[in-house]
Structure 1
Amino acid sequence: MAGLRRKLEFFYDLLSPYCWLSFEVLCRYRNIWNINLQLRPTFLAGIMKDTGSLDAMRFLCSVEMENPEMLEKVSRELWMRIWSQDEDITEPKSILIAAEKAGFSEEQAEFLLKKCSTEEVKKKLRETTTAACRHGAFGLPTIVFNVNKKSHMFFGSDKLELLAHLIGEQWLGPVPKTVR
């Protein structure tokens, strides 16, 4: 399966530390496995009906819509705040701090935060959550790999070795040393 970059959709919510683990590993493997990693911020409560990360997830959708190249950095900063620094990412101030640490100016971050309350951003998050459900998601992280017009869905951060097998790549552990 070498050559053509393959699409891998990663549905995630910042409230899941397991999503963070999968996020970091998939970011490390993106070039090793030659995959086009599509980050898909998803509202876990839309699937599980109980979470407090709505504003943070809308913020990520706002970033995805306006500056998709920054989505990885902002996601990582928000995960660092909630799971490493024990900060409340449901507070606007905390979201702004993460955005600025990721490289946004204060003005850009405030613009993106204001955009979170628009119907456009709310709709984007609902659509992504619906897409995850259509793939059969019942929790997060959910990873969908599309090959030969067929989707393969994996749930959980412990399924990355199975994903490697499916795509015909070698699993080198969570912190791979580049072999190519």
Structure 2
Amino acid sequence: MSRKVIELFYDVVSPYSWLGFEVLCRYRNVWNMELKLRPAFLGGVMQESGNKPPAMVPNKGLYMVQDLNRLASFMNIPLRHPSDPFEVMFQKGSLSAMRFLTAVAEKEKDGDRWVENVSREVWMRIWSRDEDICEPASLSEAGLKAGLSPSDVEEILAMAKSQPIKDKLKQTTKEAIKYDAFGFPLIVCHVDGKPKVFFGSDRFELMAYCIGEMWLGPQPDKRTSNL
């Protein structure tokens, strides 16, 4: 049976993207799939689609706090809210971080283990330890902690400032928009040449049904799924 290709479009400013990211990474060797991590810019998707952040609606914002706490516990992900979520999400944003991750993906030609490890570390900074993800020193620290060498980090930081990387991030964001994205995470499952699109981190049971796989919960192997 041919392996299914599953693309995950995400932005580290989105905590729900982190939840979806971790679950799909846990299923790499459970489902018959090839997971492709696609760092993209949520701000561009929101602007193009005309969507508004749910946290801008007070009642939705209050619900999201409770919802994320419950999901973090359920999925065994160390998600904790930053002290000033509004500043983190809307004032500082994630453009520099997503350019950095795009550069990591360009630097890593074979596989995406670097992208996985660095993405996770950046999420840990913003959504677990309430640390900066905008300054070059912050991104450098994330890269080093994720296992990159100092020389690789230096090269990736330089790449992240280049026009080709900026254009690559725009291109990936446009690809998400072509799938009618209006937010992240966006999961695109390619089965028999046809894309099946799912939004959010709470559609895995339905997704498994649609692609002919078995959903075993957010921790398919509790012995190996702890962060």
Give the TM-score, by structure 1 length: 0.94
Tell me whether 1:91 sits opposite 2:135 in the alignment. yes
Consecutive unaligned residues of structure 2, counting only runs of 5 or more, are: 48-88, 223-227
Tell me whether 1:107 sits opposite 2:151 in the alignment. yes
Identity of counterpart residues, as a percentage? 53
AA aligned opposite 2:105: E
- Alignment correspondent of 1:12: 10
- Alignment correspondent of 2:27: 29
Tell me whether 1:145 sits opposite 2:143 in the alignment. no
Consecutive unaligned residues of structure 1, counting only runs of 5 or more, are: none
AA aligned opposite 1:66: K
- Alignment correspondent of 1:60: 101
Tell me whether 1:132 sits opposite 2:176 in the alignment. yes
> What CA deviation, in whole Å up to 9, does each residue of 1:70-97 have, x standing for no partner?
1100001101111010111112111111
The DSSP-based 3-state class of the residue aligned with 1:8 is strand
Q: CA deviation at 1:21?
A: 0.3
The DSSP-based 3-state class of the residue aligned with 1:157 is coil
AA aligned opposite 1:16: S
The DSSP-based 3-state class of the residue aligned with 2:38 is strand
Give the TM-score, by structure 2 length: 0.75
Compare CA radii of gyration and give the structure with the larger one. Answer: 2
Q: Distance in 2 between matches of 1:91 and 1:146?
A: 36
Aligned length: 176
AA aligned opposite 2:15: P
AA aligned opposite 2:102: C
> What CA deviation, in whole Å up to 9, does each residue of 1:112-134 have, x standing for no partner?
01111111101110010000000
The DSSP-based 3-state class of the residue aligned with 1:158 is coil
Q: Distance in 1 between matches of 2:107 and 2:97?
A: 15
The DSSP-based 3-state class of the residue aligned with 1:90 is coil
Q: CA deviation at 1:177?
A: 2.4
Coordinate RMSD, CA, aligned: 1.3
Q: Distance in 1 between matches of 2:199 and 2:125?
A: 24
